[in-house]
Copies of this chain bind each other. A is one copy, B any other.
Amino acid sequence: MKFVDHLDEAAKKNNSLLCVGLDVDLNKLPADLIKSEDPFFLFNKNIIDATRDLVCAYKPNSAFYEMYGLPGISSLMRTIDYIHEQGLPVILDAKRGDVGHSSAAYAKAAFQAFKSDAVTVNPYMGYDSVQPFIEYREKGVFILCLTSNAGFRDFQKSGSGEPLYKSVARHVKEWDHFGNCGLVVGATKPEELKEIREIAGDMPLLIPGVGAQDGDLAAAVKYGINKQGLRAVINSSRSILYAADPRIEAKKLRDEINQWR
């Protein structure tokens, strides 16, 4: 099944546009988990078990696993397998991108070695750095467009003529021959999100910055969705992972999102 169909299916089944970001933090894990044989995986498994009927996807961020070396990376792989056992799609947040033959190796890593269903990619190096990912037609490729951090001002919104983020959105729309591209747009930028949805047509938009980063949820949903009320993947990580009750928190956020669809 194509990634976008899998995403739509999960969104309809769970009546949810919520994506839970699995950005594990050893310092925030309960003591009994830290002593276990695979704390990262077990922490993720608990979160997945508590939320699997409330989400459209999970998004582990590779950084938080790589920082623990081989054991961390092994936990990431186990986590991806476990999400697949629940029938849900995995967006590997890796923000990769390199010259063509190196990007081909990164695509192979993300889609074959790590078995993710979609991956985030950095557009700085242009078409031939993104194209090897797009070649995996069944997979999804979310290209960074306008990000939710403070540094978006330095390059994405700078320059005289058309700002970089808009040029990226237009280019990605052109590159999307196989209907498997998407864009990453921070929830913290509602007006630009509206413009980007207009450029993007039906492409899925991955929208981080809700919750801990305090984006405007109502605007993120209203401007992020397509005409069918789908294709906005609203990500929250820390506000759910470290909530007193992650299930209650996820349900609350899912329902809030649905209010604005």
| Cα A159 to Cα B246 with chains together (Å) | 45
**Contact string against B for A residues 147-165, beta-carbon threshold 8 Å, 1 for contact and 0 otherwise:** 1111111111011111010
Chain B residues within an 8 Å CB radius of A95: 96-98, 122
Residues of chain B lying within 8 A (CB to CB) of residue A213: 99
Q: A98-B95, A99-B149, A160-B161 are in contact. Are A64 and B105 (CB under 8 A)?
A: yes
Interface size class of A (residues with CB under 8 A): 35 or more
User: Which of A12-20, A29-37, A70-78, A217-225 is the contact stretch?
Assistant: A70-78
| Count of identical protomers in the assembly | 2
How close is A101's CB to chain B, nearest CB, in angstroms?
8
Check if A109 is an interface residue, CB within 8 A of chain B: yes
User: Does A61 contact B98, Cβ atoms closer than 8 Å?
Assistant: yes
A70–B67 touching, CB < 8 Å: no
Q: How far is the CA of A70 from the CA of B113 in the complex (A)?
A: 9
A interface residues with partner B (beta carbon < 8 Å): 23, 61, 63-64, 66-70, 72-74, 77, 93, 95-100, 102-103, 105-106, 108-109, 112-114, 122-130, 144, 147-156, 158-162, 164, 167-168, 171, 208, 213
9 other A-B residue contacts (CB within 8 Å) besides A63-B102, A72-B113: A70-B74, A73-B73, A99-B208, A123-B155, A124-B144, A125-B151, A154-B171, A155-B168, A159-B164
A-B contact pairs, 13 of them (CB 8 A): A63-B109, A64-B105, A66-B105, A66-B106, A67-B112, A95-B96, A95-B97, A99-B147, A99-B213, A124-B124, A125-B147, A159-B160, A159-B161
**Which 6 pairs, one residue from A and one from B, show the smallest C-beta to C-beta distance?**
A126-B151, A126-B154, A160-B161, A66-B109, A63-B105, A69-B113
